[in-house]
Amino acid sequence: MTFWSIHIATRLVRLALVLAAVAVLSFALAKSSPVDPVNAYLGADIARAGPEQRALIAARWGLDQPVPAQFFHWLGNMLVGELGYSMTYNAPVIDVIATRFRTSLPLMGLAWLFSGIVGFALGILAGSRPDSWVDRGIRLYAYVLASAPTFWIAILLLTVFSVGLGWTPVCCAGPIGVVPEEVTWLQSLHHLILPLAALSVLGVAQIALHTRAKMVEVMQSDFALYARAQGASRREIAIRHGARNAAIPALTVLFASLGELFGGSILAEQVFAYPGLGRATVEAGIRGDVPLLLALALFFSFFVFTGNAIADIVYRVVDPRMDGKLLR
Amino acid sequence: MSDIVDVETPPTTGIWTTNRAATLGAATLGFILLLGVAVGSLSLGSFGLDADFAARLAAPSPGHWFGTDQMGHDMLARTVHGLAVSLQVGLIAATISVVIAAALALFATTCGRWADALVAFLVDVALGLPHLVLLILISFALGGGTTAVILAVAVTHWPRLTRILRAEILQLRQSDFVLASRRMGKSWAEIGIGHFLPHLWPQLLVGLVLLFPHAILHEAALTFIGFGLEPSNPAIGILLSDSLRFLMAGKWWLGLFPGLSLLAVVLCFDAIGNGLRVLADPRREQS
C-alpha cells in the first residue's frame, strides 16, 4: 500500500512540475510573438485608437511592466482560478472553456471509447488468425488509415456523406439558426456522426495494430499450444487467453493517446466547423488571444499528463509482473 | 515515462516474400517519388502557379489529370509543387529533430544523473502538450512563415527518438569495450563521441526515415489550420484548406488528389522506415 501512495505522490509532484514547465514555456512563447496584443485586441478599430489610448490599454493589462513580473502576475491569477478575458469570444476564458468543453466532450469521449472498443475487437479478430484474409484486410485498413491525415479523412467524409449523399449536415453542432439550448439530442447526434467517424479512424487503427501484435504473440505462446492440446478451440483460446493479455497494451495505448485525440479533434473540429475546444484553440492562435491560448495549453497538458500517468498505473495494476513488490 | 507506449508495430511483410525485398522495393519507390517531385517541381516552373481563367474548376480530364482550381491552376502541377514544399520542410525538420534527439540522448547518458533526470523531464513536458497545441504555440511565437513551421515541427518530434536512443546507449554502457575505455582513463564525453555515436548511426538513420512522414503530416496539419506557410505557397495543407471552400459545390477533386498524394508519400516512407528498423536490428531474425 505504501508503494502505491509513494507512486501516486511522485506522479502528483511530477504533474505539478510539468504543468509549471508548460506554463513557463507557453508564456515565454506567447510573449515572444511578434503579434502585438494591443493591435490584436483593437482589430479593425486600430485606426481609431490614439497612442494615449493604446498606452492606457497596455497599462491596464500590465504590459508596461517587466516580463517576469507579468508572468508571476499571470501565474498568481491562474492559481486562484482567474483565467483572464478572451477577446475573441468576448467572455471570460473560464466560461469559454466550460461551454466549449461541453460541446467537445461527447465528440472526444465517444471517439475515445469507440477507438478502444472497435480497435480492440478488430485487433483480436486479426490477431487470432494471423495472415488470414480477415487479418490482411484489417492490417491494410490499419496501416493506411494510421498514416492518413485526419483532416483529409474528414474532408473525404464530408464530400461523400454530406455533399454527395446528403445524409449528414455540413457543419456545426446543431442546425443553423437554432440556439444551442434548443438543439435536441437527436440533432446533436446527427451533427456528431461525421466528426466522430473522422476522429475515431486514427485511434481505431492504432489500438487494432497494438492489440493484434500482442494477440499474435499470445497465439504462438506455449500456453496457447497447451490449451490447444487440451482440446480448446482457436476461438476459446483467443477469448480466454488472448483477449485478457491483449487488454494491457490496448488500455495503455488508449490512455496514452489522449494527446493525439486532442490534436485530432483540433483538425476535425476545424473541418466540420464544430464549435468545441479544438476550434477555440485555432481561433485563439490566429487572433492572438493570448489568455485563452495559454489557458487551453494548460488545460490540455493536464489531461494528457494524467492520461499518460494512468496508462502507466494501469500497466502496473493489470500486469503484476511489472512490479515485484505487488507479488507479496 | 511510459516507455510501454512505443510498442513495436510488426514489420510490413505481406505480399512480399522477405522484408529485405519489401524494404528495397519501398526504398526504390521512395527514391523515384523524391526524384520525380524534385524534377517535376523544378521543370514545371510557374506552370500551375499562373492563372488560366479559361479553365476554372474543371473536373479531371486527360488535359488536367487532377482537374483545375478556382483560378484555373492545374491541380496536378500544384500538387507536385505542394509535395516539393512538404518534402523540403519535412526533411529539414526531421533532420533537426534527429540531431536534437541524439544530442539529448548523449547528454543524458554521459553527463550524470542530473542530466538524465533533466532530459526525462524535458521529454515529459514535450509529450505533455498535444503536438498540435505546441505547434500552434510555436508558430504563433515565431509569427508564422516557412521557418516557423520548420522550427515548430523540428522541436516537437524529438521525444520518442530520444527515449529509444537513451535506452540503446544505456545497454551499450554495460558492454566490455566501454568498461575497458573507462579503465583506460577516457572520459564519458570522449566515449560518447567516440563509441556511442558511431553505434547509433543505424538508429539515427531509421529514426530520420520514420520521423520524416510524421513531420510532413504535422506540417500539412499546421498549414491546413492556417498557421503555416504563406497562402501563396501551394503546400498540400493549403490546397486542402482551399478545397473546403468549394466542397459544397461538389468540386471533390480539389481535396481528393492532393491528400491521396500526401498519403502515398507518407505510406512509402513509413514502409521504408519500418523495414529498415528490422534490417538494422542485429538481434532480430531476418526472414
pLDDT, one tens digit per residue, over A145-177 is: 878 888 888 888 888 887 777 777 777 666 666
The partner residue sitting opposite A281, judged by closest CB among B2, B133, B138, is B133
The pLDDT score that the predictor gives to residue B4 is: 36
Q: Regarding predicted confidence, which is higher, A139 or B277?
A: A139
Strands A91-92, A85-86: parallel, antiparallel or unpaired by DSSP? antiparallel
Question: Which CATH number characterizes residue B222's domain?
Answer: 1.10.3720.10
The pLDDT score that the predictor gives to residue B1 is: 34
Degrees to nearest 5, angle at CA A115 with A112 and A120 = 130
Tally of structural domains, chain B: 1
- The alpha-helical segments, DSSP class H, found in chain A are 2-31, 37-42, 51-60, 67-79, 93-128, 133-147, 150-157, 185-219, 222-229, 234-237, 243-256, 258-272, 277-287, 290-318
The pLDDT score that the predictor gives to residue B96 is: 92
Q: Which positions in chain A touch B12 (Cβ < 8 Å)?
A: 143
The pLDDT score that the predictor gives to residue B55 is: 63
| Coil, helix or strand at residue A221 | coil
Determine the distance in angstroms separating the CA of B266 from the nearest CA of chain A, rounded to an integer.
Answer: 7
Region B110-131 average pLDDT: 83
The partner residue sitting opposite A308, judged by closest CB among B1, B140, B248, is B1
Q: Is B7 among the domain residues?
A: no
A288 touching B, CB under 8 A? yes
Q: Is B125 among the domain residues?
A: yes
The pLDDT score that the predictor gives to residue A276 is: 83
A134 touching B, CB under 8 A? no
Q: Do B227 and A286 touch (CB under 8 A)?
A: yes
Which secondary-structure segment (H or E) carries A85?
strand A85-86
The segments of chain A whose pLDDT lies below 70 read 1, 37, 40-47, 61-62, 172-183, 318-328
Q: Is B181 among the domain residues?
A: yes
B255 touching A, CB under 8 A? yes
What is the DSSP track for A50-83? Answer: -HHHHHHHHHHTTTTS-HHHHHHHHHHHHHTT--
For residue A82, which amino acid is it? E
B125 touching A, CB under 8 A? yes
Q: Regarding predicted confidence, which is higher, B141 or A46?
A: B141
Q: Is B54 among the domain residues?
A: no
Q: Which positions in chain A touch B270 (Cβ < 8 Å)?
A: 143, 147
Q: How far is Cα B238 from Cα B225, in angstroms, rounded to an integer?
A: 9
pTM of the entire structure?
0.79
The partner residue sitting opposite B259, judged by closest CB among A18, A155, A258, is A155
The partner residue sitting opposite A285, judged by closest CB among B129, B140, B220, is B140
Region B77-99 average pLDDT: 85
For residue B244, the enclosing domain spans 20-47+62-286
Q: Do B142 and A260 touch (CB under 8 A)?
A: no
Q: Is B139 among the domain residues?
A: yes
Q: Is B215 among the domain residues?
A: yes
Q: Is B136 among the domain residues?
A: yes
- How many C-beta neighbours within 10 Å does residue A14 have? 18
Q: Is B258 among the domain residues?
A: yes
